[in-house]
Amino acid sequence: MPELRPDPPRRPWDVPDEPVRIPETGLDTDGDGVADTVVRDDGADLLIITDLDADGVADQVLRLTGTGEVRMIELLDTRPETTGPALDLD
């Protein structure tokens, strides 16, 4: 059986300056080739949904309101089997 090795460490210059567009699935903001950020509108508000560990489940959701206020939405349960469609990045 082949030995599993961790990915080599990433350096700051390995991450692109601009997000890499992944069609239909979101943005790759850390340059690892996996979409990790999705932007959705919710009426007058904008939701920024981020998957920090590439497991396909939102780890952080920010709501930008029409008045310019930014709110972090608390995620009480982020287990894949209980996510709703707005929080599932797959």
Q: Is the pLDDT of residue 90 over 70?
A: no
Asked whether residue 65 is assigned to any structural domain, the reply reads: yes
The token pair that represents 21 in the structure block: 């567009």
Contact 20, 30 (CB under 8 A): no
For the full predicted model, state whether its pTM sits above 0.75: no
One-letter amino acid for residue 54 of the chain:
A
pLDDT digits (tens, 9 = 90+) for 9-43: 767 766 666 655 544 578 888 888 888 888 888 88
Tell me the pLDDT band of 52, cut-offs 50, 70 and 90.
confident
Asked whether residue 25 is assigned to any structural domain, the reply reads: no
Number of domains in the chain: 1
Tell me the pLDDT band of 70, cut-offs 50, 70 and 90.
very high
One-letter amino acid for residue 81 of the chain:
E
> Which pairing describes strands 37-42 and 45-50: parallel, antiparallel, or unpaired?
antiparallel
One-letter amino acid for residue 68 of the chain:
G
Asked whether residue 23 is assigned to any structural domain, the reply reads: no
Asked whether residue 70 is assigned to any structural domain, the reply reads: yes
User: Range of 39's domain?
Assistant: 34-74
How many residues are recorded in the chain? 90
